[in-house]
Structure 1
Amino acid sequence: MNLANRITLARIFLVPIIMFFLLVNLDFEPIVVGDFTITYNQIIATLIFIIAASTDGLDGYIARKRKMVSNLGKLLDPLADKLLIAAVLISLVDMAKLDAWIAVVIISREFAVTGLRQIALLEGTVVAASKWGKWKTAIQITAIIVLLLNNFPFTFIDVPFDLIASWAMALITIYSGIDYFVKNKQLLNF
């Protein structure tokens, strides 16, 4: 197994660890600054999430640079991305930090685009990541980090950035999904 695929597998293995820290109460005293409160669990989960999310670009870069692109990597990389995002979104819903409809919209879009990519493979083509798909990923990661950190540091200046980021995440996800289907409508035989 090559280095790029090992990095991707590491991202997959970090998913349950992130969920553990988000969903299991370890009874440490939370950090409290004025009205702002955060648990050590959230901080640890956020740091692991940032590490896991950063490996997405790293494994792809290494695979292309060292000519390690493999069928296993083509399968594992998008799977790892979707597992990471879906698991954290579901955890945020469970923690009452994200509306369930936003998580459902995002996860549904991921299933739909994955289905489109499968149809493309059956037709012998590849649906490449679009610029909107890349923006979607960046905004999702940013929104998730802010949600995991209880709107830090924006809570101190009374800006509901977590709410703004949640809506931005939902809207860009919808738009990028529509963009994929419009640009690849020839794959759909209605």
Structure 2
Amino acid sequence: MLSNLPNLLSLIRLTLSPLLLFIPQEYLLLLFLPLALSDALDGFLARKLKAQTELGRVLDPLADKVMLLCGLFVCTFKLHLIPQALLYAVLARDLFLLLGGAILTGRNKSVPQARAPGKAFTFTLSLFILLCLGGFFSEPILWATIIMLFLSWADYFLFGLRALRSQTSSLS
């Protein structure tokens, strides 16, 4: 039973995140905070319980992206705190990662792991959304988020190129 707990937390985050789009403003932080904490908790539990699974490798980042995009959408269009360009840049990055991950998964039959810059981006974006939902717009955290967005994007791009090149050279 405990071995399924990390995936259950990811599934709960995935299903509850869209509620952010519909609940009143005064409850946004109350929902987003436990969702964001569950992101850290499910990964910790998966490692601690030795319950890392292929399903979890797909479900956790999917739940993260849904949570963050819902939070960004609320902060952009409901609260008008975040420039639309940030939302569109995050969407572009996530579509890029989805496409690149699908290509790499199709080629080597395993889901690419999250990388440190991607985790740092998720953390800074979660923190920025939490602050915005709490009524504390932070320009330094916004800039840290933007920097991590592009650093993680570049890191995944270079990682994908290296992976594709090594597969191509091993086929020759």
TM range (shorter): 0.7 to 0.9
> What stretches of structure 2 of length at least 5 have no aligned partner?
166-172
> Do 1:136 and 1:176's aligned partners in 2 also have CA atoms closer than 8 Å?
yes
Q: Does 1:16 align with 2:1?
A: no
Counterpart of 1:49, as a letter, is F
CA deviation string 1:103-141 (max 9, x = no partner):
110121112122222222122155322221121111101
Root mean square deviation, CA, Å: 2.1
CA distance in 1, matches of 2:105, 2:47: 20
2:22 is paired with a residue whose SS is helix
Residue 170 (1) aligns with residue 146 (2): yes
Query: Which residue matches 2:45?
Result: 62
- C-alpha distance in 1, partners of 2:163/2:52? 25
- Which of the numbers 95, 102, 114 marks the counterpart of 1:118? 102
Structure 1 runs (4+) deviating above 4 angstroms are none
The amino acid of 2:44's aligned partner reads Y
In 2, distance between residues paired with 1:187 and 1:122?
12
In terms of fraction of residues, the more helix-rich structure is 2
Tell me how far apart the structure 2 counterparts of residues 130 and 149 of structure 1 sit (CA, whole Å): 29
1:126-171: CA deviation from partner (whole Å, max 9, x where unpaired): 53222211211111011111111221xxxxxxxxx52332232122
Correspondent of 1:77 among 60, 63, 72:
60
Q: Distance in 1 between matches of 2:5 and 2:159?
A: 33
Give the whole-Å Cα distance in 2 for the aligned partners of 1:135 and 1:5.
21
State the identity as a percent. 29
Partner of 2:168: none
Amino acid paired to 1:164: P
Residue in structure 2 matched with residue 6 of structure 1 by the alignment? 8
Distance 1:144 1:7 in 2: 20
User: Is the alpha carbon distance of 1:131 and 1:74 closer, same or farther for their aligned partners in structure 2, counting shifts above 3 Å?
Assistant: closer
Q: TM-score, normalised by structure 2?
A: 0.83
2:97 and 2:156 in contact (8 A); partners too: yes
Q: Report how far residue 187 of structure 1 moved.
A: 4.2
Deviation, 1:188, is 4.9
Look up the match of 2:170. none
Q: Is contact 2:10–2:39 with CA below 8 Å preserved after alignment?
A: yes
Q: Write out per-residue CA displacement over residues 58-112 of structure 1, whole angstroms, 9 at most, x where no aligned residue.
A: 1122223223222322221111000000111111111211110011101211121
- Write out aligned runs for 1:100-111 (5 A): 100-111=84-95
- Structure whose CA Rg is larger: 1
| Residue-by-residue CA offset, 1:30-75 (whole Å, 9 max, x unaligned) | xxxxxxxxxxx33x21122111011112112222322322232222
SS state at 2:81 partner: coil
Q: How many residues end up aligned between the 2 structures? A: 162
Partner Cα separation in structure 1 for residue 91 and residue 128 of structure 2: 15
